[in-house]
């Protein structure tokens, strides 16, 4: 704030025309004296020197302010660059961390999928083995049933044959027995007739 006030004061001093004071000095002291005229010339020279010195001071102050502002801007740019680099580094770290976490999760999912696949394959093999055992057992049972049915058929056929043979045998026996009974009855009739014939005589 203070350098700005100094610059403003010096600029106002430069803007003021000191030549306006020169007629006052000449009219007040000696408007017709050549000595005072020489003094007036020296005074003009002195004012010109003061003016040049003040302009130099202003330029120096402005250059100082510009350098200061430039330095401040460079510091700000450097700070912003550092902050941006820090943010970029932090963002890069976050991305790397996220990628690492995703990779870990992907690996875990792969391991889970692999374990599930192995378990599924194991279950399928176990199921196929159980089906094969069941089919084999069913085939064995079917074969046993077929064999049992065949044996029963053979037994039934043999029983039928045996029953038919026994029936035929029984029939023959009955026929022989009936024949013998007929022969016996006929013999008894003949014997009775013979006896009856002798009795009549």
Span 64-87, pLDDT tens digits: 788 888 888 888 888 898 999 989
Tell me the mean pLDDT in the region 117-126: 92
What is the chain's Cα-based Rg?
74
Alpha-carbon distance of 68 to 80, in angstroms, equals: 18
Kindly tell me the burial class for residue 123, based on how many C-beta atoms sit within 10 Å of its own C-beta (0-12, 13-18, 19 or more). Answer: exposed
At residue 21's C-alpha, the angle toward residues 19 and 26, to 5°, is 105
Report whether 22 contacts 43 (CB < 8 A). yes
CA 146 to chain centre: 58
Q: 194 or 27: which carries more pLDDT confidence?
A: 194
Q: Give percent of the chain above pLDDT 70.
A: 68
Q: How many helices (H) and strands (E) does the chain have?
A: 3, 0
Round to whole Å and give the CA distance between 189 and 176: 19
Least confident stretch, 21-35, 52-66, 150-164: 21-35
Compute the average pLDDT of residues 14-20.
Answer: 46
Q: Are 69 and 62 in contact (CB under 8 A)?
A: no
For the chain, the first-to-last Cα distance in angstroms comes to: 197
Q: What is the pLDDT of residue 54?
A: 58
How far apart, in whole angstroms, are the C-alpha atoms of residue 43 and residue 47?
A: 6
Higher pLDDT, 124 or 36: 124
Under a CB-based contact definition with an 8 Å cutoff, are residues 36 and 76 in contact? Answer: no
Chain mean pLDDT for the chain:
77
Q: Convert the pLDDT of each residue in 40-67 to its tens digit.
A: 555 556 656 665 555 555 567 777 788 8
């Amino acid at each position: 704030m203070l350098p700005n006030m100094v610059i403003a004061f010096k600029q106002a001093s430069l803007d003021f025309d000191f030549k306006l004071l020169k007629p006052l000095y000449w009219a007040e002291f000696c408007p017709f004296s050549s000595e005072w005229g020489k003094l007036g010339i020296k005074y003009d020279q002195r004012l010109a020197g003061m003016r040049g010195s003040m302009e130099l001071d202003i330029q120096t102050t402005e250059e100082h302010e510009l350098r200061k502002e430039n330095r401040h801007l460079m510091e700000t740019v450097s700070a912003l660059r550092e902050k941006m680099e820090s943010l970029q580094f932090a963002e890069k770290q976050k991305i790397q961390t996220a990628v690492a976490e995703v990779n870990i999760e992907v690996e875990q999912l792969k391991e889970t999928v692999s374990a599930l696949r192995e378990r599924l394959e194991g279950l399928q093999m176990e199921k196929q083995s159980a089906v094969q055992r069941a089919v084999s057992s069913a085939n064995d049972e079917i074969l046993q049933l077929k064999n049992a049915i065949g044996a029963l058929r053979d037994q039934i056929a043999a029983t039928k044959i045996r029953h038919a043979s026994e029936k035929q045998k029984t029939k023959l026996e009955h026929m022989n027995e009936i024949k013998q009974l007929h022969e016996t009855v006929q013999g008894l009739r003949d014997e009775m007739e013979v006896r009856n014939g002798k009795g009549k005589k």
